[in-house]
Chains A and B, each alone.
Chain A
């Protein structure tokens, strides 16, 4: 592509590309998000290209790399109903990861799920050529058995409002052209004709709050950095998405990298920074790869670098790969990590807005926050505020996982209720099991019970019940999940990730973990519960950064809402969910046992006795509760009680 020297040229290019793109009658988008790639979608993509090219199939095709465009005119003669080409492209994450690998066919909006390599030939023959829908590959609602062919009619998508994720799954993330066609960099163009202060005012007016968890107003952060003294200022994008159970930022970086770059460039212009860093988790190699491509493309056409779009504004971006430390999600720790040090937080103030990277004023925002900025500058603050609730305008992405029918990446207006997310978008809990809780905000957040199903998800409502939006992980748990064990799991995580600087965080989380371990091992006492609360409150008070201040949250909220379950563990030594293996007791049902001896042969400690063709029994004193007998039994005769 040629260099774009002005806003006018950008608009011209967009219009020209739009015209070209509409010529493609049909477009095949193969999802290349991590979930689908793991399911083999890249092979499917290659197969589409190979078959379209190889068979000819009377189809003109316009393939990005090894284009067979030379055949264009030739194929025109064959009088096929499609006048021009098909396009096969890789897209970012569609969000509906549970159904992957996904293939979407535009403009008919057909979504094929669980596509296998062998299906490609049939899709080309039936759908692309004849326009028939292949029943077998379309989405089946697991609850009702109903079949839905069109993506926007699938309940998972119907309730969503995809703004920050608009392009994810809809464009090829490795193509700047596709981003520009979808009004990409229009927000930046609009920003550049305003004064920096006007840009900040627009962001302030939109009410955008940081999507990384804290919920601090983005405009204010920018304002502080703008007025801070210093010739050199920096923009940092926090892509260190460390919460276990969250993958929103990853999907945005992988599926729409230019949007993040655009948001950062706008921030750079607004605060007077000419350099920026994107800090990405090392576990996200594909995000790093795509961001690198996007930065290179943007530099080539003059959207990054010197004199952007022909203006005085210059902005450069670098990528820093994290090295696997959860605490680096905390802004001062992240800055230390970029500087090449151990990622340990420092006391605030001074805030990064005054003294950040190498002592210079620095704006540090989350990936999703930057992804929202172009929307505000492109369509205005009022458009942004038109959804959501007054104190938390806009939309929020969530990673919906755990025991729910439709797992995946979703985006809903702020203020959507938990019930709508779990039951309408998520499709409810599979296997007719009971809803138990949602863990929101990862290891910093809390548990929401059945009573909270109608709570509006926004920054302030969640705070009022002791939870937080965090970065947006929603893990659904059903009756088969043990709450105490989950609390132990989170404590294990934070204890492991505590950087060790603050004594209360370092030692306190360890003690809390020991107590929780004791409880799931069946050695807990009633007094332990109060001790946990006391320790938790003390750790919150005595820790410097967000990690320590929030680490006790999962334990404190579960103790508040599920105290009965804790009591069963410590008093009656019973795990209601039958998860804690130390609290299980195995029993052989004499009615079902056929005396096949399989369980006895599989028992590693010889706790099962019985003669052939006679009912067997388990010696509970010898039993180590490993469950080997349950797996071995072919007659379902061994039950956990």
Chain B
């Protein structure tokens, strides 16, 4: 693991146990385990830290370039850390025809960031998602996994306030 810099070693040391447990549940060289390992890594860190990708590469005997290819292919994976609350705006058809765009605009102006960015205080990351499958409640936004449905742009401030109060 000569490729790792000091800060990544610290990062690993802090999370050692969880990550080691993760790797133990798959056998070395088990190539089909790549996506589940990436999913679980993201479950632990909220994103895919570079050092873990190198470890995964060594463990599964898959070149790190290929892993990067897989990680960037699927929408689920993020290579940058996310805010405490992930705000997902559904951009599915039903949400779209019921004004999902306006809700996204309201969120962008309220948070002062564009989709894909994180607020400076690290509280929110804004993103769009193809369809959350909750079309009957369109338009839908999830904040940290909680669903908020049948939204109008004016509801946004109230919803965000709830999470700020929690902090």
Q: Which residues of A line the B interface, CB within 8 A?
A: 34-35, 37-39, 97-98, 100, 241-247, 250, 281-284, 320-326, 337-343, 399, 401-403, 407-409, 439, 442, 473, 475, 477, 481, 486, 489-490, 493, 497, 499
In the complex, B149 has a CB within 8 A of chain A: yes
B93-A499 in contact (CB<8A): no
Beyond the given A244-B91, A402-B94, please list 12 additional residue pairs across the A-B interface where CB-CB is below 8 A: A35-B137, A38-B137, A100-B136, A323-B35, A323-B75, A340-B32, A342-B73, A401-B138, A402-B98, A402-B138, A475-B93, A489-B96
* Most chain A CB within a 10 A radius of its CB, from B91, B93, B146: B93
Given known contacts A340-B31, A401-B93, A323 and B74 CB-to-CB distance under 8 angstroms: yes
Given known contacts A242-B130, A321-B39, A340 and B135 CB-to-CB distance under 8 angstroms: no
How far does the Cβ of A558 sit from chain B's closest Cβ, in whole Å? 13
In the complex, B33 has a CB within 8 A of chain A: yes
B-side contacts of A321, CB under 8 Å? 35-36, 39
Given known contacts A247-B133, A402-B94, A475-B93, A325 and B147 CB-to-CB distance under 8 angstroms: no
B35-A340 in contact (CB<8A): yes
Q: Which 3 A-B pairs have the closest CB atoms?
A: A97-B136, A38-B147, A244-B92
B136-A401 in contact (CB<8A): yes
A250-B133 in contact (CB<8A): yes
A331 to B54 Cα, complex, angstroms: 30
A97 to B97 Cα, complex, angstroms: 17
How far does the Cβ of A212 sit from chain B's closest Cβ, in whole Å? 16
Given known contacts A35-B137, A283-B132, A283-B133, A342 and B70 CB-to-CB distance under 8 angstroms: yes
A265 to B116 Cα, complex, angstroms: 42
Q: Which residues of B line the A interface, CB within 8 A?
A: 31-36, 38-39, 69-70, 73-77, 91-94, 96-98, 129-138, 140, 146-149
Given known contacts A340-B31, A442-B93, A325 and B136 CB-to-CB distance under 8 angstroms: no
Closest A-chain residue to B105, C-beta based?
Answer: A626
B-side contacts of A39, CB under 8 Å? 137, 149
Given known contacts A35-B149, A339-B31, A401-B138, A244 and B97 CB-to-CB distance under 8 angstroms: no
How far does the Cβ of A466 sit from chain B's closest Cβ, in whole Å? 18
A596 to B141 Cα, complex, angstroms: 35
B-side contacts of A244, CB under 8 Å? 91-94, 96, 130-131
Closest A-chain residue to B75, C-beta based?
Answer: A324
B74-A439 in contact (CB<8A): no
Of the candidates A284, A323, A442, A477, which one forms a contact with B133 in the assembled complex, judged by CB atoms under 8 Å apart? A284
How far does the Cβ of A329 sit from chain B's closest Cβ, in whole Å? 11
B73-A325 in contact (CB<8A): yes
B39-A323 in contact (CB<8A): yes
A-side contacts of B69, CB under 8 Å? 342
B93-A340 in contact (CB<8A): no
A243 to B98 Cα, complex, angstroms: 17
Of the candidates A38, A320, A325, A486, which one forms a contact with B75 in the assembled complex, judged by CB atoms under 8 Å apart? A325
B130-A326 in contact (CB<8A): yes
A39 to B149 Cα, complex, angstroms: 8
Q: Could you list some 28 contacts between A and B, CB below 8 A?
A: A34-B147, A37-B147, A38-B134, A38-B140, A38-B146, A38-B148, A97-B134, A97-B135, A98-B136, A100-B137, A245-B94, A245-B131, A247-B134, A320-B36, A322-B76, A323-B75, A323-B77, A340-B35, A340-B70, A343-B74, A401-B136, A407-B135, A407-B138, A409-B136, A439-B93, A477-B97, A486-B93, A486-B96
B-side contacts of A246, CB under 8 Å? 131, 133, 135
Closest A-chain residue to B149, C-beta based?
Answer: A38
A282-B76 in contact (CB<8A): yes
